[in-house]
Structures are given as structure tokens and as C-alpha cells.
Amino acid sequence: MINMKEKDYKREISLLKKEVSLLKRSVRKKFNLVINELQELGSNNKQYEVVFDEQPITSYYDGLIEKVKTSKSFKDVILSKDVKAQLDIALSQIKNRYTLIHKWKLNKLQNSNAISLNFAGISGTGKTLTAEVLANELGKKIYIVRYSNLVDSYIGETGKNIVKVFEIAKKDNAILFFDEADAIASSRTAIFNATDAETNLTRNVLLKELEKFEGIVIFATNLVSNFDKAFERRISLHVIFKMPNIMEREKIWKLLSNDLPLAKDVDFNKLAKEFEFTGGHIRNAVLNAARIAIHNKSNEVKQEHFLHAAKLVKEGYNTLMQQEEKTNLNYLG
């Protein structure tokens, strides 16, 4: 016969199951609201897929990767001639992998089985978008891996997460895109505590996975000089994403504003000359210009709206830079 205490436990478990079910429904509802808002803003750069099933909420690959569906092509991204030339070489290398590895025996000269690229440059210069374009050109899925999602407070678990990420990519024949790669692929440090030892162990795990992975891995970093020498030897090609020049900025303004009802006074050349923006900054300015136009009850997006929006983006960027410099000074002092 079940005593009252056991019944209480069973009742508690039943209530917890109901709470989990309600929470999952709430998460699904919030997710759909966010997607609808993004679509209303015209943000079609990324379509995120989240798996909702009868498994625990963490069943979406334990939150380790971000699946991205993309239909973007080279027409959707403005790249310098140098970057485009390097990407053409990378595509050729990937498409002719069998000849290079098995017929020409280049595997004897390589430290890794993976085709690994490093996209280096400041934020907003198009590294993620370009990775999505490459995936679409190759007809492959792309999984974004953020270091912040890999890190685990328990010793050894971060390394296990890295192994799992590569297993998922191998199974799905997907490209792995490591965002925030500076955190995991930067130069190894001297060991002063358990955290340093764990960091170095994590890098070693990533190196081993790279050596045996026969797919495509793309790292995104801010500076090539930050790369650990062992990683550098395993990189097939470094692609440097620089600040776009005036002509490239003008093209980006035009491309991102293509679907907007533009007034006759809009002059993207003037905007490109006045504001030394990355593609990410220009995107934010275009979004803000459209919002300002709607707020002003205008049927067109005018030059004044773009100027106002660009100034807001510039002010925000300058404020963030000042705060970052202040933080660094405080740390040094």
C-alpha cells in the first residue's frame, strides 16, 4: 500500500510535468512572436529552426549550435575584389577536394583533414553572411557555434561539447562556423590555475577534432595575430575582411535599401562619404531610417531620415567605444 508521502511525491512530479509543458508552450509562443517581428522588419538574413518535441527543452542539440537556413548568394553581399578572389580559391579547393587529397596526395602535407578557413576582421564586415553564402553555394547546411554556448563550469565538459558539435556536423554533413573564435583559438597561456589548464585542454580537444574532421570549418576572429600557432598551421586559408571603402559602402547602402520606397533626394554616395561604416552599421542605419520615416508618417524614406539614422548609429558606436576604452583603462590602472 502506498503511503501518503509517496502519493505527495507522485503529485509533485505530476505538477512539475504540467509546468514543463506550459513552459515549452510559452517558449514556442515567444519564439514565433520574435520571428514575426523580424519578418515585419524585413530581416530575412537568418531563419532559425528550433526543435520542439517531447524531449526536454535542451534537446535542441543542448543549445550548442544554431541552425541557419540561408538562400543568400554572392549577389546579396558586397565584397572587395581581394576577398572575392580568396573565396573563389576556397570554393575551388572544396569542390576539388577529392583530387587534391586522394589523387594529388596533399593529405601527406596537411596537419588536418578538415578544410578550415579563418575569416578575420572587425564586427559587421560580413563574416557571418559570407559564411552563409558559401554554404548556399555548396548546397550545405551551416551550423553556427558560439564559444559562450560551449563553455561549461564543470571541468572537462567544454571539451565534450566540442566533440559533440563535430559529431553533429559530421552526421548532418554541415559546415561548422565558430563565431567568437578568438576565445578558443587564441594563443595558449601559462598555467597558473585550473581555469588556465581547462582553457588549454579545450584548445587541444579542438585541434584533435580538426585533425580527424573531413568537413568544412570556418572560424571568425577579430585579429589573425591572436591565433595560436598550432591552429594557424591547420588553417587552409585566411580571409581578411577590411572596412569597406567609399564605393563599397555606397553599394551596401543601395543593396540594403533596395526594397524601400525611396525619395528622389536620397544620395547614397554622400552617405558613404560622410559615414565610415561597416556593413553591419549600414544595415542598422537603414532599419532606423525606415522606422523614422514611419514615425514621421512619411510614405517615402528621405535623405533626412537616412542622415538622422546614421547619426544615431554613429553616436551609439562612439559611446560603446568610449565605454570600452574606459573599461580597459580602469583594468590597467
Q: Which three cell numbers stand for residue 120?
A: 578575420
Q: Is the pLDDT of residue 141 over 70?
A: yes
Distance between CA atoms of residues 122 and 282, nearest Å: 14
Q: Residue 35 has what pLDDT?
A: 52
Is the domain of 105 the same as that of 149? yes
- Whether 50 is covered by a domain: the verdict is no
Is the domain of 294 the same as that of 160? no
Residue 37 to residues 43, 44, 87, 300, Cα–Cα distance (Å) = 9, 11, 33, 21
Is the domain of 211 the same as that of 89? yes
Range of the domain at 15: 1-40
- Whether 82 is covered by a domain: the verdict is yes
Predicted TM-score of the model (pTM):
0.73
Strand partners, 219: 118, 178
* Residue whose C-alpha is closest to residue 135's, from 3, 46, 52, 61: 46
Is the domain of 219 the same as that of 79? yes
Q: Taking the CA of residue 287 as centre, how many other CA atoms within 13 Å lie in the half-sphere pointing to its CB?
A: 15
Is the domain of 232 the same as that of 111? yes
Distance between CA atoms of residues 264 and 44, nearest Å: 26
Q: Residue 269, Cβ neighbours under 10 Å: how many?
A: 13
pLDDT digit string, tens, across residues 91-130: 998 888 778 777 787 767 676 778 899 999 998 999 999 9
Distance between CA atoms of residues 115 and 87, nearest Å: 13
Q: Which three cell numbers stand for residue 55?
A: 524531449
Of 62 and 25, more confident: 25
Domain boundary pick from 192, 225, 240: 240
* Residue whose C-alpha is closest to residue 132's, from 62, 70, 214: 70
- Whether 61 is covered by a domain: the verdict is no
Is the domain of 97 the same as that of 229? yes
- Whether 140 is covered by a domain: the verdict is yes
Q: Residue 180 has what pLDDT?
A: 80
Q: Residue 331 has what pLDDT?
A: 34
- 309-333 residues labelled b (16+ CB within 10 A) or e (exposed): bbeebbeebeeeeeeeeeeeeeeee
Is the domain of 177 the same as that of 110? yes
Q: Is the pLDDT of residue 1 over 60?
A: no
pLDDT digit string, tens, across residues 143-165: 999 888 887 656 678 889 999 99
Distance between CA atoms of residues 112 and 220, nearest Å: 18
| Res. 16 pLDDT band, cuts 50 70 90 | low
Is the domain of 229 the same as that of 251? no
Distance between CA atoms of residues 162 and 164, nearest Å: 5
Of 7 and 240, more confident: 240
Q: Residue 203 has what pLDDT?
A: 86
Of 330 and 174, more confident: 174
Domain total in the chain: 3
Look at strands 237-240 and 65-69 and give their pairing. Answer: unpaired
Is the domain of 76 the same as that of 204? yes
Domain boundary pick from 240, 264, 292: 240
Q: Residue 43 has what pLDDT?
A: 43
Is the domain of 274 the same as that of 310? yes
Distance between CA atoms of residues 57 and 28, nearest Å: 10
Strand partners, 69: 47
* Residue 156 region by backbone torsions, left for phi larger than 0, else alpha for psi between -120 and 50, else beta: left
| Res. 45 pLDDT band, cuts 50 70 90 | very low
Least confident of 5-14, 251-260, 312-321: 5-14
Q: Residue 9 has what pLDDT?
A: 58
Of 186 and 275, more confident: 275
Q: Compute the average pLDDT of residues 55-63.
A: 39
Of the ranges 8-17, 161-170, 311-320, which is most confident? 161-170
| Res. 47 pLDDT band, cuts 50 70 90 | very low
- Whether 3 is covered by a domain: the verdict is yes
Is the domain of 15 the same as that of 81? no
pLDDT digit string, tens, across residues 268-311: 999 999 999 999 999 999 999 999 999 999 999 999 999 999 99
- Whether 55 is covered by a domain: the verdict is no
277 φ, ψ (degrees, to nearest 5): -105, 155
Is the domain of 222 the same as that of 109? yes
- Whether 116 is covered by a domain: the verdict is yes
3-state secondary structure of 218: strand
In this structure, what CATH number is given to the domain that contains residue 301? 1.10.8.60
120 φ, ψ (degrees, to nearest 5): -115, 135
Domain boundary pick from 195, 217, 240: 240
Q: Residue 60 has what pLDDT?
A: 38
- Whether 265 is covered by a domain: the verdict is yes
In this structure, what CATH number is given to the domain that contains residue 78? 3.40.50.300
Beta strands of the chain (E only): which ranges? 47-48, 65-69, 115-120, 141-146, 174-179, 216-221, 237-240
Of 245 and 195, more confident: 245
